[in-house]
Structure 1
Amino acid sequence: MNFDLTTSSERPSTESGGNCVMRSSDEEEETQKHNNGRLSVQFDVNSLSLDRSPVRKVLDRVDLPVQIVRLVLLTLILWVWQSERIFDGVSLLGFEIFPEIPALFRGTPSGVWDYLTKIWDDSVFWADVKATSIEALLGFVYGSSGGIVVGLLLGRFRRLARVFAPFLIITNAAPKVAFAPILILWYGVDIGSKIALATIIVFFIVQIPVQAAVGGIDPDLDTVASSLGASQLQKFRLVVLPGILGPLFGALRLGSIYAILAAVFGEFIASKRGLGQRLISASNQFNFGAAFALILILALLALLFNFVMGVLERRFLRWQDDGGKGSVISL
């Protein structure tokens, strides 16, 4: 009697346990099937991405239709320029859009090419390129470094920003190129005056966006980081730095171009060497083929600076998509 009761009392629990085991095994099978399905989908997606040939990847990166349109536009511009028809004047609805240019003041692509081939082996020309590059590079480094430091300090410490705001606003409002004659008197006609001018111009181009970016960081992020015990260095690395990298690189791109402009402008006024001094000399001699060639060289130098900044931007902003990256010039 006791045996029967014990057996009958244990039987339901055993059966219920068996049901639980059966249900758990069914759930495991369904989960395994679901995971296998996800793996097969991921495998199919990966296989699709691997099917792209290296040639196809290069074509997608180059964006061939855009490059073809650019080449057609460049050919059209060079053809119109070489024909000199545009120098005869352009009028629209009775308004003179482009005046008639005398033959003495005209420059053509063939004249540009002739000048480039002539100076390619000229050591004095490469000395001028070196001088302008050093002036722009050092001015960019000094100005951007100062702009980053001051922007970070004024963005983080609001009271400090209120103290220095009037002085920075007045200095920024003044035309920076007006300092060029004064800087030449102070530093001389050598590269020092051009570096100083480029430094002043680049400083404000970088400082203002950095300060605005730091001030625009969500204060709740700083509060959360502090509550988790983050140090000031950790908060800067994990909160501040990711929040300012986008605006910072946009400012650095713009500053790299203006550094070259500042160096060339300083060379226009007084200089022993440099592309700006060579350009003003060619214009004074009515050698406009040489003048346009030097303008082209300066543009290529600016593109080189911008390319380097673009490489650094892609390196430090890999976590952003292409739409989130700022750019001034995009090739």
Structure 2
Amino acid sequence: MSSSDPAPPADTGQGATLDTVPESATLWRWRIRQLDLPVQLIRAAVVVGLYFLWSSRALFKGVPITVFGFEPLPEVKDIFYAVPSEVWDYFTAYYHDLLFWKDLWVTVQEAFWGFALGSTAGLLVGLTLGYFRRLQKIFGPFLVFSNAVPKIALAPILILWYGIDMGSKIALATVIVFFLVQMPTTAAVGLVDPDLNILATTMGATQVQRFRKVIIPGIMPAVFGALRLAAIYSMLAVVFGEFLASKRGLGQRLLYSVNQFNMGSAFALMIVLALIALALNGLIGLVERRVLKWQSNREGGQVVSL
């Protein structure tokens, strides 16, 4: 090296830190954009506004409006509703109640297994019928007819078949979830871009490879949308089954609270049930974001996204 060449920069141990500053700042800017502060502030304002309306009992005072002889916002008597303080009293009173957690665990198990069994069966049947068109022509009308049967009407029959324990609620949730997943899956397979299949075939892909690399990725957005909806309906089916006949469960506890005009308990239990459904939905949203991370323009898990 000649004397006129500039000397290399001394290693002061700060080079790595200086290099990472722009990346760190960019990451924070990206996180702030993802957070979308205006949207979060509006959400917070809506929650605070609803809370004050609820606390002030204004939501239950009624509005003198009649639509075709029906009053959509009637005045509700004091005995038929609860305010946030009464709901909070229930949470504080039953937080240490072992029976409450047993009922919660029973309802969670029923909803989970109904969702797992129904969505698995619906996904497999939907893929099979969507991929093999002849099978769809044979069995499609029978599934359409079965889907037309009111599922709630099956609840008393399922209780007679499976008893009043967890089995009848799991069966009811399985039936409802099955059709919520099967129908969109079958339709999604038929809507996969045929040009992609032709391209994969010309590139020498086998039938199994086309199924794995074209069909499965192509139907995932529709499948996850159906799964998010199925998670909510699984909870609804379980609660309805517990209303009819059950040994344990939050639905049975909710029905008892309403019959006793204990509205604080009833409102609190409805909040707990909603949180369970949102938790299931959130788990599906996390899996969706990981599976569909190649879709940069898609926001997964919209129900519980922050």
Instruction: Give the alignment's TM-score, normalised by structure 2.
Output: 0.87
Kept in 1: contact 2:286–2:301 (CA 8 A): no
Does 2:65 match 1:72? no
Kept in 2: contact 1:183–1:197 (CA 8 A): yes
Show the counterpart of 2:294: 319
Pick which of 315-324 and 128-137 moved more: 315-324
How far off is 1:218 after superposition? 2.6
How far off is 1:88 after superposition? 2.4
Q: Which amino acid aligns with 1:59?
A: I
Does 2:81 match 1:89? no
Higher-Rg structure is 1
Show the counterpart of 1:285: 260
Distance 1:187 1:141, change over 3 A: same
Q: Which amino acid aligns with 1:298?
A: L
Does 2:249 match 1:274? yes
How far off is 1:202 after superposition? 0.6
Show the counterpart of 2:209: 234
Distance 1:49 1:165, change over 3 A: farther
Q: Within 2, Cα distance between the matches of 1:49 and 1:90?
A: 56
Show the counterpart of 1:114: 89
Q: Pick from 90, 108, 113: which aligns with 1:133?
A: 108
Q: Within 2, Cα distance between the matches of 1:328 and 1:153?
A: 29
Q: Deviations over 1:128-173 (max 9, x none)?
A: 1111111111111111111111111111111110111121111101
Q: Within 1, Cα distance between the matches of 2:127 and 2:58?
A: 53
Paired residue secondary structure (1:91): coil
Q: Percent identity?
A: 52
Q: Pick from 178, 183, 191: which aligns with 1:216?
A: 191
How far off is 1:50 after superposition? 1.9
Q: Which amino acid aligns with 2:154?
A: F
Q: Which amino acid aligns with 1:180?
A: A
1:239-258 matches, within 5 Å, as: 239-258=214-233
Q: Deviations over 1:235-293 (max 9, x none)?
A: 11111111111101111111111111111110010001111111101000000111110
Q: Deviations over 1:167-201 (max 9, x none)?
A: 11111011101100000000001110011001110
Q: Within 2, Cα distance between the matches of 1:308 and 1:200?
A: 22
Show the counterpart of 2:11: none
Does 2:99 match 1:124? yes
Paired residue secondary structure (1:273): coil
Q: Deviations over 1:93-113 (max 9, x none)?
A: 898432121221121111000
How far off is 1:329 after superposition? 4.9
Q: Within 2, Cα distance between the matches of 1:143 and 1:182?
A: 18
Kept in 2: contact 1:89–1:96 (CA 8 A): no
Paired residue secondary structure (2:253): helix
Q: Pick from 37, 45, 50: which aligns with 2:23?
A: 50
Paired residue secondary structure (2:155): helix
Q: Within 2, Cα distance between the matches of 1:147 and 1:207?
A: 4
Q: Which amino acid aligns with 1:78?
A: Y
- Which consecutive residues of structure 1, in runs of 5 or more, have no partner in the other structure? 1-45
Kept in 1: contact 2:281–2:301 (CA 8 A): no
Q: Within 2, Cα distance between the matches of 1:168 and 1:287?
A: 42
How far off is 1:84 after superposition? 1.6
How far off is 1:324 after superposition? 6.3
How far off is 1:66 after superposition? 1.7
Show the counterpart of 1:59: 32
Greater share of helix: 1
- Which consecutive residues of structure 2, in runs of 5 or more, have no partner in the other structure? 1-18
Does 2:252 match 1:294? no
Q: Deviations over 1:47-69 (max 9, x none)?
A: 99626266544433322222222
1:158-169 matches, within 5 Å, as: 158-169=133-144
Instruction: Give the alignment's TM-score, normalised by structure 1.
Output: 0.81
Distance 1:239 1:86, change over 3 A: closer
Distance 1:226 1:56, change over 3 A: closer
Q: Report the number of matched residues.
A: 286
Pick which of 168-177 and 77-86 moved more: 77-86
Q: Pick from 150, 155, 168: which aligns with 1:193?
A: 168
Show the counterpart of 1:11: none
Paired residue secondary structure (2:64): strand
Q: Which amino acid aligns with 2:254?
A: L
Q: Pick from 184, 190, 203: which aligns with 2:159?
A: 184
Q: Within 1, Cα distance between the matches of 2:199 and 2:46?
A: 53
Q: Deviations over 1:1-34 (max 9, x none)?
A: xxxxxxxxxxxxxxxxxxxxxxxxxxxxxxxxxx
Q: Within 1, Cα distance between the matches of 2:58 and 2:214?
A: 58
Paired residue secondary structure (1:125): helix
Pick which of 233-242 and 47-56 moved more: 47-56
How far off is 1:323 after superposition? 3.4
Distance 1:175 1:319, change over 3 A: same
